[in-house]
Each structure stands twice: as structure tokens, then as C-alpha cells.
Amino acid sequence: MRDDAQLISDTLAGNTEAFGALVLKYQGRLFNTFLQVTRSREEAEDVLQEAFVQAFVKLDSFRGNSAFYTWLYRIAFNLSISRKRKKKPEASVDQQREVAGTEPIDLGELPEDRLLREERADQLHRAMTALHDEHRAVLTLREMEGFCYETIGEILDLPAGTVRSRLHRARMQLHEQLKAILHENSS
């Protein structure tokens, strides 16, 4: 499988299929992350689509100083902020369920256990939605993407110290809201 640098080079040489390979490689990962960031499946798809288009158009400006995915993520993230400034989406219950995704059904699971699990998932997503955007972004980048503080700071244009403190505040807020679940789980 060709690496990112090769795919980028091929794309710049006019091979659109190479860019298609890049899209295929990263769309799933980006989509899940932006599902958490935007809290809307539709919005996440729109943001990513726009981000990929912009990345394609501006690909010759990519200097390779960072990973392609980081560069792409930064474009998508800035687009999502820009879009959010223009409109304030209202998160509906259906949207929350969309964001939560569909967990595989355990056929051996008792109905009450399933209800309980779904209730916990809803709580988690409500807690995530209640986070401030900048806290949720940092938390998503760390927990979903596994980026180090330095990369998160690069994407969000923040010092690593700020990333650490925001991440801690986000976790503590979630901790407060989900204390019951967490203790229940740990006990």
C-alpha cells in the first residue's frame, strides 16, 4: 500500500484515484471524531466533505512538516468552527442517538440490561454535549484520536500546557456528571 507521501505526489501529478485512496484511508477515522466534535452526523459529513475538497484544492500547499492526517484534521476542525459560528445547530434526541451510533445487539442480553446500557450511553453523550466546544475538541482529539499534547496543540494552535489544563477540566466535568456510572462500573 502506498504511503501518504506517494499518494499526495500522485494526486498532484493528476491522479485523482490517489486522492480517493487518501479519502478512503482517513474518512472513517475523521468521521467518528467529528461526529463527537459536531454532535451531528449530517454536520460531520458536510464538514468532512468540505475539508477533503479543500485539502484536494490546496494539496500543493502541504509541505509535509506535519502528518497529512494532522493537516487534514486541522482544515476540518477550522471548517467546523467556522460553520458553527454561522449556525447554531440544535441537538435533538435523534441526533444524539445518531452520534452515539448503533452498538451491536447482544442476543443473550436481558432487555433490562440493554435498557441500562443504552441509558448509560445516553448519559455519556449528554455529558459530552454539555462540554464546552473547546474542551470537547481537546478531549476528542486525545481520547478518540490518541493524539499527543503537542499534536493537539498544533491542530488547535494552542500551547501544550493549555492542552493539558483543558483536557483536565473536560475530564473533571465529565467525571462530575458521570460519577455514579463510573463508581458503579469500578465497584
Partner 1 sequence: MNEKIPEELISAYIDGELTSDEQVRVEQALLEDPHSQQLLEDLQALHDRLQAIPRSEPSQDYTQQILRRAERAILTGPSTASGEEATTAVRPANPGVQANQPTNLKHLIWASTALAATLMLALLFRSEDRSVYQVSDAGNEQETTTPPTSAVPELESNSAETDDLEGEEESAEMAGGAFAPLAHADADAEGLPGNGLARPAKARRMGVRASFGAQADPAADGPSTNQEGATTQDTVIYINISQEDFEQQAVLRTLVKQQVAFNYDPMASADLATQDTLSLESVAAADLRPVEAKTVQQPQDKKAEEKSEAKDEAVSVARRRKRDGSYRVITLEATAEKLDKLLQDLSDHHQVQRTPRGKADLLRKENPKAADKSGSTPGLTTNLSEKRGRKPVQQPGGKSKDKADKNQTAKRADEKQNEARKPTATKLLFQQEGQALKASRVRIVLVVQASSGSTQTVSDQADTPASPAKKPKSPK
Under the rule (CB under 8 A), what is the footprint of partner 1?
12-14, 16, 19-20, 23-24, 27-28, 31-32, 35-36, 41, 44-45, 48-50, 52-54, 56-61, 63, 71, 74-75, 78-79, 81-83, 98, 100-104, 121, 124, 139, 142-144, 148-149, 157, 160, 164-165, 167-168, 171-172, 174-175, 178-179, 181-183, 185-186
Q: How far is the CB of 109 from partner 1 (least distance, A)?
A: 15
- The CA distance from 154 to 159, in Å, is 8
Q: How far is the CB of 115 from partner 1 (least distance, A)?
A: 17
Which residues, at least 6 apart from 179, have a Cβ–Cβ distance to it below 8 Å?
none
Q: How far is the CB of 100 from partner 1 (least distance, A)?
A: 7
Q: How many other CB atoms are found less than 10 A from the CB of residue 48?
A: 24
Q: How far is the CB of 108 from partner 1 (least distance, A)?
A: 18
- Residue number with CB closer to partner 1 (50 or 134): 50
Q: How far is the CB of 165 from partner 1 (least distance, A)?
A: 6
Q: Quick one: cell of 28?
A: 472513517
- Residue number with CB closer to partner 1 (91 or 160): 160
